[in-house]
Amino acid sequence: MKYSNRTKYLIYMFIFMVVFLMSGIDVKASQTQTIVISKDRQVADEFCNVKAYYVLQSSNTGPYCCAGYVKRFYAALYNVCVSQINTYAGPPAVAAVGANVSLRQVAVPQPGDIMQNTARTHVGIVKEVEGSQVTLIEQNWKWTLNGTVYAKINRKIGTGYAYFYRLVINGKDAAPATAAVEPKDRQVWQVSSGGGVNLRQSPSASSASLLTIPYNTILNVTEEQNVNGSVWGKTDYNGKNGWILLSNAMYVWGQYPASDITPPVISDVSISHITRNSYTVTCRVNDDRGISRVQFPTWTEASGQDDLANDWWTNPAYSGTINGGTVTYAVKRSAHNSEFGIYNTHIYAMDTSGNWSAVVTDGVDLGTKKLKSGINVYIQNIRSGKYVTSTGNYPTMKNFRNNASQLYKINKRSDGYYTITSVSENKRLSIVKNKTGNEIALKLVKATGKQEEYWKIYENSGKYVFRNKTGYEVVMIQGDSLKSNSKLRMNMQKDCKTNMFRLIY
């Protein structure tokens, strides 16, 4: 293929432009600059999100010296402790928890390698490599002129003017350093005191020391407290939680979380699955940080909060089940003295910082419905289909007759109890025990005002339960109870169809 001269010219121009643009991008990335340091802890440079800090005063030792940056860089990116920097006539030493680490001297450095000058008096980190030219990030490369402090950033040296060391982790060279994410939920500190630092129970020098954390240990600090001018950090080490005096450690990087002042939001509250025995409360709970628990204190109107435990705020028996942002809680009648009637449930959502919010639900009327007073009703058992029939003193179950022997007048008293009076016999339904007290049956009696003559009538979905003031419920028991003429027996409440009746009026 042959090109014309003009075409060749255009191709050369194109290649030239590409090379020019690419080289332009490279140059911008790391220009050497002299900057003015105007305040302490000024961020002069940054690599992989680990900042180089400069201070105005002399800083040939400590966190703002050159070694301070190398230590922080390795602690932040690799969780590796670097020691013996500039105090030892040889390469620095490295150590790590849970990994076998060492340094290997290399002729061709890569980003992240340690640079140590040949006099072994200065260190930095390799930021970029272009041929035999190395760009550094370093601390304490500064001088003062006429009272102004200057520093040089992106300083470049030739590979022959320093030693370069590569981190080896479990036998493999570390990859070139890349941008790392600075923690936002904690700070990372490294013990700087040669004798280690005491982990104390509370942020006080007089508090018991749990153990001593050795020199160079890298720690997570989740909270800070300034106690009379001494700054303490909350941390954990070897499974123990406590506080260390932060003046014995060096800040590496990271931020404490901003304090959480936003309580959870409770929404979409609903009550479902209402049966005679239980109901379910469902809601959505959202929080900016996280939910620790959602409590559903519940009590019946009857006798107030007698059925609510004092420790409901933390008691797991009142905790809802959290599934994503949805929380459910089942209220059971059995947990509330087996009472019917009005139930109150409130919702308290707690976030991980202790903020809370609350919502009052509509409550549930469990098993009750207001019956009109003074009406005559037929009472039909749901399971057998037979009717309560007044025959002599003891009612029995019979097929429908359509006469007064199966009609009962229901009257509500001012105390909420009902009387149930046979229209044909003009006697009240009551309960009676046999001589041994083992068997309890329904009986028709003349009105005398005993508690056995008073009833609560509870409704759920058109089905009614008759509960005597003595605590017994009308129930048909045993197989023969389903036949005609079988007597109605009494029992403490059981949850089966034999307890339930239809009222026809």
The interface region with Ca ion, picked from 259-267, 357-365, 380-388, 472-480 by CB under 5 A, is 259-267
Spell out the long-range contacts of 335-338 with Cβ–Cβ below 8 A and sequence spacing 24 or more. Answer: 335/298, 335/307, 336/298, 336/299, 336/300, 336/307, 337/300, 337/302, 337/306, 337/307, 338/493
Which listed residue (182, 223, 224, 260) binds Ca ion by CB under 5 A? Answer: 260
Q: Which stretch binds Ca ion (CB under 5 A): 27-35, 286-294, 324-332, 405-413?
A: 286-294
Binding segment (CB under 5 A) for Ca ion, from list 45-53, 172-180, 285-293, 409-417: 285-293
Q: How far is the CB of 350 from Ca ion (least distance, A)?
A: 9
| Nearest distance from C-beta of residue 346 to Ca ion, angstroms | 14
Nearer to Ca ion, 149 or 366 (CB): 366
Q: How far is CA 33 from CA 3, 150, 153, in A?
A: 46, 10, 5
The separation between CA 326 and the C-alpha centre of its own chain, rounded to angstroms, equals 13
- Minimum CB separation from Ca ion for residue 300, in Å? 4
Least spacing, CB of residue 108 vs Ca ion, in Å: 51
**Among the residue ranges 106-114, 123-131, 252-260, 380-388, the one whose residues contact Ca ion (CB under 5 A):** 252-260
- 3-class secondary-structure state, position 19: helix
- In the complex, the smallest distance separating the C-beta of residue 308 from Ca ion, rounded to whole angstroms, is 7
Cα–Cα distances in angstroms (integers) from residue 118 to residues 121, 137, 158, 172, 348, in the given order:
8, 17, 12, 26, 66
**How many residues form the binding site for Ca ion (CB under 5 A)?**
12
Label residues 183-192 b or e (16+ Cβ within 10 Å = b): beebbbbbbb
* CA nearest neighbour of 341 among 413, 276, 414: 276
Of the candidates 45, 138, 287, 452, which one interacts with Ca ion according to CB under 5 A? 287
**Closest distance to Ca ion from the beta carbon of 334 (Å):** 14
Binding mask 342-381 for Ca ion (x = CB under 5 A): ---------x------------------------------
173 versus 288: smaller Cβ distance to Ca ion: 288
Nearer to Ca ion, 176 or 471 (CB): 471
Nearer to Ca ion, 160 or 354 (CB): 354
Binding of residue 61 to Ca ion (CB under 5 A): no
Task: Output 262 or 373, the one with its CB closest to Ca ion.
Answer: 262
Closer CB to Ca ion, 26 or 311, in the complex: 311
Segment lying near Ca ion (by CB under 5 A), choices 90-98, 155-163, 294-302, 318-326: 294-302
- Which residue of 116, 193, 248, 300 would you call a contact of Ca ion, by CB under 5 A? 300
**Among the residue ranges 18-26, 150-158, 178-186, 296-304, the one whose residues contact Ca ion (CB under 5 A):** 296-304
What's the rounded Cα separation, in Å, for the pair 277 and 482? 24
Piece in contact with Ca ion (CB under 5 A), picked from 34-42, 46-54, 299-307, 429-437: 299-307
Q: Confirm or reject binding of residue 298 to Ca ion (CB under 5 A).
A: no
For the purposes of burial, counting CB atoms within 10 Å of the CB of 269, is it exposed (0-12), middle (13-18) or buried (19 or more)? middle
Q: Of the listed pieces 85-93, 178-186, 253-261, 358-366, which binds Ca ion according to CB under 5 A?
A: 253-261
130-166 CB burial, b ≥16 within 10 A, e <16? eeeebbbbbbbbbeeeeeebebbbbbebebeebbbbb
**Closest CB to Ca ion among 195 and 304?**
304
Does 170 contact Ca ion by CB under 5 A? no
The alpha carbons of the chain give a radius of gyration, in whole angstroms, of 41
Q: Under the criterion CB under 5 A, does residue 303 sit at the interface with Ca ion? A: yes
Q: What is the DSSP string of 164-188?
A: EEEEEETTEEPPPP---PPPSSEEE
Q: In DSSP terms, which residues pair with 51 in a beta bridge?
A: 46
Please compute, for residue 166, the number of CA atoms within 13 A of its CA located in the half-sphere on the CB side.
18
The answer to whether the beta carbons of residues 126 and 108 sit under 8 Å apart is: no
Q: Which of 174, 154, 172 minimizes the C-alpha distance to 164? A: 174
DSSP state of 21: H
Nearer to Ca ion, 113 or 287 (CB): 287
Q: Is 422 in the site for Ca ion (CB under 5 A)?
A: no
Q: How far is the CB of 273 from Ca ion (least distance, A)?
A: 21
Q: Which residues of 198-213 are buried (b: 16+ CB within 10 A; e: fewer)?
A: bbbeebeeeeeebebb
223 binds Ca ion (CB under 5 A): no
What's the one-letter identity of residue 381?
N
Interface residue with Ca ion among 31, 49, 262, 267 (CB under 5 A) is: 262
The yes or no reply on residue 292 touching Ca ion (CB under 5 A) is no
| Least distance to Ca ion, CB of residue 288, Å | 5
Among the listed residues 343, 347, 350, 344, the one whose alpha carbon sits nearest the alpha carbon of residue 359: 347
Q: Is 307 in the site for Ca ion (CB under 5 A)?
A: yes
Burial 411-434 (b: 16+ CB within 10 A, else e): eeeeeebbbbbbeebebbbbbeee
Give the interface segment with Ca ion, choosing from 74-82, 284-292, 400-408, 417-425 (CB under 5 A): 284-292
Q: How many C-alpha atoms does 419 have within 13 Å on its Cβ side?
A: 19
Q: Which helix (H) or strand (E) holds 17?
A: helix 5-29
Task: CB nearer to Ca ion: give 351 or 459.
Answer: 351
CB of 356 or CB of 417, closer to Ca ion:
356
Residues binding Ca ion (CB under 5 A): 260, 262, 287-289, 299-300, 302-303, 306-307, 351
